[in-house]
């Protein structure tokens, strides 16, 4: 635990503060939910270890995987209570393993095989027979420690498997469903590591997970566009007369920025909804929702560049994020 706390201290010491302010084009508020109009104004292979690591080695493996592949999730996990921290590492590492699969394969069949490995791994874990793979072993410990709900883990696998197809989301609702079954499910499990089983917390987690899924889709757009792929909701693209080719060519015209604005606004709406009933959410649940800080940071940045999804500033790691996460944690807000 001391090592994790040391990592947290180092991470928190990186920088000092972020600002959020109004811009000429504001994100839509909660009252505009569902409107797609503009106002007038991120698993690779289940790499089995050659030999089973020791206790510290398994935790370190998960933490290092997060640090490299889900840095924001890594920082958020460091701020969880000590008794939940290593379990959160395991859950997020499990999610990373699944998320990496789509980008690491050239044939869907290989992806299906890797998903099946993790589906069987979860079944075996609940039979107290985890495979000799560090993430699986840590996940087993987390399940034993907190009695985590099996169906959320399987739902994440099932949804990631469906998403192996290289096609755009048909509409924003399809993207939200994917986000709810992956990111929100991960938040439900994180709440369980905190000992929180509460309907209001689950409601907040659902909205935050949807916001995270939408932002993740936006952030990945430049990466995918370079590889001749576009996954943004087709209904919003069609509404503004934007084709997939426009994104592949990194077009920066107004109608393309309008597409990004509409999608980003939907993420903002979900964050506002999650916060609108924060008074009913147990304070004990708040650490699970610290990822809202990273989402807020990205939405602020994309506003600042007038929703130009290809702007270089959006690809830079925020050195101000660690301290702002710490402050939000200290204030017990999300």
Q: What's the confidence (pLDDT) of residue 46?
A: 40
* C-beta separation of 204 from 278 below 8 A: yes
Tell me: pLDDT of 119 over 80.
yes
Phi, psi angle pair for 61, to nearest 5°: -60, -50
Q: How confident is the model at residue 55 (pLDDT cuts 50, 70, 90)?
A: low
- Kindly report the average pLDDT of the chain as a whole number: 87
Looking at residues 106-113, what average pLDDT do you find?
Answer: 94
Tell me how far apart the alpha carbons of residues 130 and 319 are, in angstroms, rounded to a whole number. Answer: 37
What's the pLDDT score for residue 35?
Answer: 34
pTM of the model: 0.85
Listed in sequence order, the residues at least 6 apart from 143 whose beta carbon sits closer than 8 Å to its beta carbon are 125, 126
How many residues does the structure list for the chain?
334
pLDDT value for 11: 46
pLDDT at 317: 87
Helix 82-104 and helix 150-162, axial crossing angle in degrees, nearest 10: 20
Q: What confidence score (pLDDT) does residue 236 get? A: 97
Range with the poorest average pLDDT among 49-63, 159-173, 222-236, 309-323: 49-63
6-20, 47-61, 249-263 — which one is most confidently predicted on average?
A: 249-263
pLDDT of residue 16: 35
Distances (CA, A) of 163 to 67, 237, 248: 24, 20, 20
- For 221-242, the pLDDT digits (tens) are 999 999 999 999 999 999 999 9
Start-to-end Cα distance in the chain: 25
pLDDT at 251: 86
- Give the residue carrying structure tokens 């393309």: 256
Q: Which of the two residues, 136 and 12, has the higher pLDDT score?
A: 136
CB distance 118 to 98 below 8 Å = yes
- Predicted local distance difference test score (pLDDT) of residue 166: 84
**Average pLDDT for 129-142:** 97
Q: 242 phi and psi, to 5 degrees?
A: -105, 135
Query: CB neighbours (10 Å) of residue 59?
Result: 23
């Amino acid at each position: 635990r001391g090592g994790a706390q040391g990592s947290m201290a180092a991470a928190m010491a990186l920088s000092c503060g972020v600002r959020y302010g109004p811009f000429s084009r504001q994100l839509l508020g909660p009252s505009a939910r569902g409107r797609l109009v503009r106002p007038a104004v991120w698993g690779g292979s289940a790499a089995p270890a050659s030999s089973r690591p020791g206790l510290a080695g398994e935790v370190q493996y998960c933490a290092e995987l997060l640090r490299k592949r889900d840095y924001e999730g890594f920082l958020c996990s460091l701020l969880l209570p000590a008794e939940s921290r290593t379990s959160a590492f395991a859950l997020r590492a499990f999610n990373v393993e699944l998320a990496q699969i789509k980008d690491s394969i050239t044939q869907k069949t290989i992806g299906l095989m890797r998903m099946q490995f993790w589906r069987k791994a979860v079944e075996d874990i609940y039979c107290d027979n985890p495979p000799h793979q560090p993430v699986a072993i840590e996940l087993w410990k987390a399940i034993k420690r907190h009695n985590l709900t099996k169906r959320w883990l399987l739902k994440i696998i099932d949804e990631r498997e469906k998403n192996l197809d290289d096609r755009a989301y048909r509409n924003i609702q399809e993207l939200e469903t994917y986000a709810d079954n992956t990111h929100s499910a991960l938040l439900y499990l994180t709440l369980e590591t905190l000992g929180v089983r509460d309907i209001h917390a689950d409601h907040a987690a659902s909205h935050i997970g949807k916001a995270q899924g939408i932002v993740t889709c936006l952030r990945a757009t430049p990466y995918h566009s370079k590889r001749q792929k576009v996954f943004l909701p087709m209904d919003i693209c069609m509404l503004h007369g934007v084709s997939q080719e426009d994104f592949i060519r990194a077009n920066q015209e107004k109608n393309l920025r309008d597409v990004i604005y509409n999608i980003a606004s939907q993420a903002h709406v979900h964050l506002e909804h999650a916060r609108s009933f924060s008074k009913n959410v147990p304070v004990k649940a708040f650490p699970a929702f610290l990822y809202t800080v990273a989402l807020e940071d990205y939405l602020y940045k994309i506003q600042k560049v007038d929703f130009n999804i290809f702007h270089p500033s959006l690809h830079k790691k925020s050195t101000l994020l660690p301290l702002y996460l710490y402050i939000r944690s200290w204030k017990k807000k999300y």
